[in-house]
Amino acid sequence: MTVPLLSARGLSFRYGEREVLRDVDLDLSSGQVTILLGPNGSGKSTLIKILSGALPPGGGEVALLGRSPQEYDRREMARLLSVVGQDPPVDFPMTVDEYVALGRFPHQGLFGGTSSSDREEIEGALAMTGLAPLRDRALSAISAGERQRATVARAVAQGARVMLLDEPTAFLDIRHRVAFYEIVTRLAGTRGVAALVASHDLSLCAEYGERIVLLSGGAVASQGRPEEVLTPENVREAYRVEVACDRNPATGAVRVTPLRGSPPKKG
């Protein structure tokens, strides 16, 4: 049993009166892709904010390599943990290369320059995300899918061992979704990254995730291997929708299919 890079115990959080998270336990280990599922408003983004140190937990604790995120200096933290979120568009001219290079900030600081090892990491990130041919293009002149990959590339260039990715495939077509999960799987495989991906894509998750954590109403409804978590009962409970779960004959992974004509049941 490896020691998890990031672990959370008994996390809870409230926005005013509203309870958003309740007693959440979570471990992220090196080389493992964990998928965070849950309906809109189930607390996924809040959980990611707390894990990344952007929000202090209301209760419970987070440990990144044994220390609470709040104890870290900002740059030290960013060298260990990166986040791919839903950032606002950049309204200023910037090339893909310049954008990805910003990921090296935690290694450079306000006053540092770009070293050859920075350059190497940037090249590596561009190559891994297939963006090398687009490096000189303006960020505003590439497609939404390519821009999403650039955001991932920036996080890769950051060189962190823990990556938190918040619904990064929300607006992407199937080709770019697959490409995204391929990149994350490769990061886990080759760099030993511990990845947490918040997603709505049940079947793709089952294909790529080794572990799935299903949040519902701010609490962990189920976690484990895809076939343990993705059952008709669990999905109905969390999403209020009837599904059939079987095995994909081509890959053997769990396949989740919504059933027509089955109105959501009151829970």
Partner 1 sequence: MTRRAAGKGSGAVFPVLVAALLGAVALSTSTGPVAIPFRKMAEALLHGGDDTPSRVLLSLRLPRALLGALVGGALASSGVAFQALLRNPLADPYILGVSGGAAVGALTVALFLSADASPALPLFAFLGAAMSALSVFLLARRKSGVSPERLILMGVVVGAFLNAVIMLMVTLSPPGKIPGALYWLMGDLGLGTPRRVAVLFPYVASGFAVLFLLSRGLDLLLLGDQAAFQTGLSVERVKTATYLTASLLAGSVVAVSGLIGFVGLIVPHGARVLVGSGHRRLLPAAFLLGGAFLVLSDTIARTASPAGELPVGAVTALAGAPFFLYLLRRNGGRS
By the criterion CB under 8 A, which residues form the site for partner 1?
52, 54, 74-79, 82-83, 85, 87-88, 90-95, 97-98, 102-103, 105-106, 108-112, 135-138, 140-141, 154, 158
Minimum CB separation from partner 1 for residue 78, in Å? 3
User: For the chain, first and last CA: distance in Å?
Assistant: 38
Minimum CB separation from partner 1 for residue 20, in Å? 16
Q: Which is nearer to partner 1, 180 or 239 (CB)?
A: 180
| Dist CA 225 CA 39 (whole Å) | 19
Q: Which is nearer to partner 1, 166 or 207 (CB)?
A: 166
Minimum CB separation from partner 1 for residue 97, in Å? 7
Q: What's the half-sphere exposure (Cβ side, CA atoms, 13 Å) at 48?
A: 27
Q: Is 31 helix (H, G, I), strand (E, B) or coil?
A: coil
E strand or H helix at 51: helix 44-51
Q: Which is nearer to partner 1, 66 or 109 (CB)?
A: 109
Q: Which is nearer to partner 1, 196 or 238 (CB)?
A: 196
Q: What share of the chain is helix, strand, coil (3-state, %, to 5)?
A: 40, 25, 35
Across the beta sheet with 194-198, the strand order is 81-84, 162-166, 194-198, 33-37, 211-216, 219-224
Minimum CB separation from partner 1 for residue 131, in Å? 14
Q: Is 7 helix (H, G, I), strand (E, B) or coil?
A: strand
Nearest C-alpha neighbor of 265 from the set 245, 242, 244: 242
Q: Which is nearer to partner 1, 112 or 189 (CB)?
A: 112
Q: Which is nearer to partner 1, 158 or 216 (CB)?
A: 158
Minimum CB separation from partner 1 for residue 186, in Å? 22
